């Protein structure tokens, strides 16, 4: 599973992209967030308040109950500010 | 058509290309967004912005812009649409974004253009870092942008 971080989340995690293999019980975005937060203090800081984080699975917006599986591309980022 | 690019664009040339050969078009509404030189709501209250850098999510950006464009074409009878969004380092006065809608009649063109920019601002994965004398900071999303996008829901 590929996980991407953008904007200030990337700064906090310290990397923009990583390949991860969470255990099988990590089957939705919420569980993935909880598991990622155990990987480093940077991950924990970036994902501390999910109210200010948006997520996408395979390049579409997704809520915390969205399923995730091996091979997915998951991204975490702040609310968008383009235009 | 959508384009995500680092380079500047020429609104006049884009408009000419959008309408070339299609005499069913009766009107085009075209919006161009520029980099302002101040943060926040008013020039007098904000810090001077020396420039900004736009980051995006390659792949998802194109996917979301295409979905927004398709939604506009589903809602209004349009003869053409164009969305161009830049990324990378930009200076005050630079063009950031162009959205355009062409239709037989002006009302569809105005509404579709307005819809395109409102949805783009809340759905397309771009993030701005502003460079000011006090340092760099990530621009925060505005609740008012969500409100403006929300008027097109339903």
Residue ranges and CATH numbers for the domains of chain A are 2-77 (3.10.20.30)
Q: Where are the domains of chain B?
A: 2-39+46-150
Average pLDDT in chain B: 93
Q: Does domain B2-39+46-150 have CATH number 2.60.40.10?
A: no
For A49, phi then psi, to 5°, come to -120, 95
Contacts of B141 in chain A (CB under 8 A): 78-81
Q: Which residue of B has its CA nearest to A77?
A: B125
Residue A59, SS3 per DSSP: coil
pLDDT at residue B42 above 80? Answer: no
Q: Is B54 on the interface with A (CB under 8 A)?
A: yes
Q: Is A27 on the interface with B (CB under 8 A)?
A: no
> What is the C-alpha separation between B88 and B62, in angstroms, rounded?
16
Closest CA to A26 of A41, A37, A15: A37
Q: Which residue has better confidence, B96 or B145?
A: B96
CB contact under 8 A, A78 and B127: yes
Confidence of residue B78 (pLDDT cuts 50, 70, 90): very high
Which ipTM score applies to this complex?
Answer: 0.94
Q: Which residue has better confidence, B96 or B147?
A: B96
């Amino acid at each position: 599973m590929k996980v991407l971080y953008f904007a200030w989340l990337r700064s906090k995690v310290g990397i923009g992209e990583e390949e991860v293999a969470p255990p099988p019980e990590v089957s939705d975005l919420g569980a993935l967030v909880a598991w990622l937060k155990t990987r480093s203090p940077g991950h924990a800081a970036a994902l501390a308040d999910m109210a200010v984080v948006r997520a996408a699975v395979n390049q579409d917006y997704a809520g915390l109950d969205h399923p995730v599986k091996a091979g997915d591309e998951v991204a975490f980022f702040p609310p968008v500010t383009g235009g | 058509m959508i384009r995500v690019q680092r380079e500047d664009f020429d609104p006049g040339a884009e408009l000419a290309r959008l309408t070339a050969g299609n005499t069913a078009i009766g009107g085009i509404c075209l919006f161009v967004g520029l980099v302002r030189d101040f943060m926040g709501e008013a020039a007098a209250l904000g810090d001077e912005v020396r420039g900004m850098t736009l980051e995006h999510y390659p792949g998802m950006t194109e996917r979301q812009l295409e979905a927004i464009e398709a939604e506009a074409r589903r809602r209004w009878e349009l003869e053409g649409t164009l969305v161009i969004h830049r990324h990378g380092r930009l200076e005050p006065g630079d063009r950031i974004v162009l959205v355009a809608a062409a239709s037989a009649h002006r009302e569809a063109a105005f509404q579709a253009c307005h819809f395109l920019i409102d949805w783009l601002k809340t759905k397309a994965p771009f993030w701005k870092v502003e460079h000011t004398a006090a340092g760099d900071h990530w621009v925060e999303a505005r609740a008012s942008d969500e409100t403006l996008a929300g008027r097109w829901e339903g």
